[in-house]
Amino acid sequence: MIKEYIRLIKARGYMKRNIPFLYSWHAYVGYELDLYEAFKKPKTINEVATENALKEDLLVRWVEVGGVIGYIKQRSKQRHQTVNRFMVPSSKNNPRSTGVLLKEMMELHIPTLINYPKLMKSTEKENFNQKEHGMVIAQTSSLLEQLAIPRVMKVVKQAKPKTLVDVGCGNGGYLLKLSQKFPKANMIGIELNEEVAEEAQNKCEQQKQINIICENVLEWKPDSKVDFVMLNNMLHYLSPKEREKLFRNIGKWLNKKGTLSIVTPLHNSKHGGPFSSVFNSFFTAFENLYALPSETDLEELAKAAGLKIKKMKPVIKEGGWYQFTLSK
């Protein structure tokens, strides 16, 4: 009898712990189909289903869940409306919508984590499709950028570089902000993904001091020595061997008083353990993504580059993200 009771408590526990998933699921579907926008003014389910060519029975369920969690309100017998709540993502048409993070979580992270039993038994791993996911990742990275940029600005201000290289520059968000603050510095962004590099190019078009190069950074070298190198959120794209190669190269690119600034989540960090452990579970599932570096790994890499870690500051504590400043 007691055993049966414990079994039920456990099952109820799993169900209760899963309730927060409902909020993320609802927000993801709402973002992906722009449904919060469709219900911005009170509308019937039939109207929205017809206008957007959606299955009405499924839309009914989504609206029902929205009602339960307080994201959608019934305004009359037939009409429903989006509630103006903090956690409801803004429209897909808004390039600053936080919905991209839900998209990355739901389409990339969760399916990969669910695939773990299969992957563990298989001799193969998943292959990360840069082309398919590159843009969404560049967009979610720009959310982190907003939190890390004040710290990066401070480090750049102290270094006063005339030349700066952003390795794996994504859509150029850091470069754009830095160029507005430091208009005299020459800036180069190296980005492997063509579509992302094009976006960076367009974003930074007005800033003549920025040059975006679409190339594998492992094959690239500057024409002359540089003062500052940035490496933001890209170490997990490189194998330990490639990391070492890159750091050795960066050591050669930098002039004597040069600075390397790294922003990365850290393995086994003091802060953000749950986040970095799940991040690592995700990365390790791919043959072409790699576990996050630990502080000791970064010290080793710094040594290979002839550099020393001078400062280390958390930029997003709950995520285990740190900024490192290195120099000779």
Ligand X SMILES: C[S@@+](CC[C@H](N)C(=O)[O-])C[C@H]1O[C@@H](n2cnc3c(N)ncnc32)[C@H](O)[C@@H]1O
The footprint of ligand X (CB under 6 A) covers 130, 134, 137-138, 141-142, 145, 168-170, 173, 190-193, 196, 216-218, 232-234, 237
Closest approach of ligand X to the CB of residue 90, in Å: 20
62 or 128: whose CB is closer to ligand X? Answer: 128
Closest approach of ligand X to the CB of residue 126, in Å: 17
Closest approach of ligand X to the CB of residue 142, in Å: 6
69 or 217: whose CB is closer to ligand X? Answer: 217
Closest approach of ligand X to the CB of residue 311, in Å: 19
173 or 272: whose CB is closer to ligand X? Answer: 173
Closest approach of ligand X to the CB of residue 31, in Å: 20
Q: CA 315, CA 263: separation in Å to the nearest integer?
A: 8
112 or 141: whose CB is closer to ligand X? Answer: 141
Closest approach of ligand X to the CB of residue 209, in Å: 18
173 or 258: whose CB is closer to ligand X? Answer: 173
82 or 142: whose CB is closer to ligand X? Answer: 142
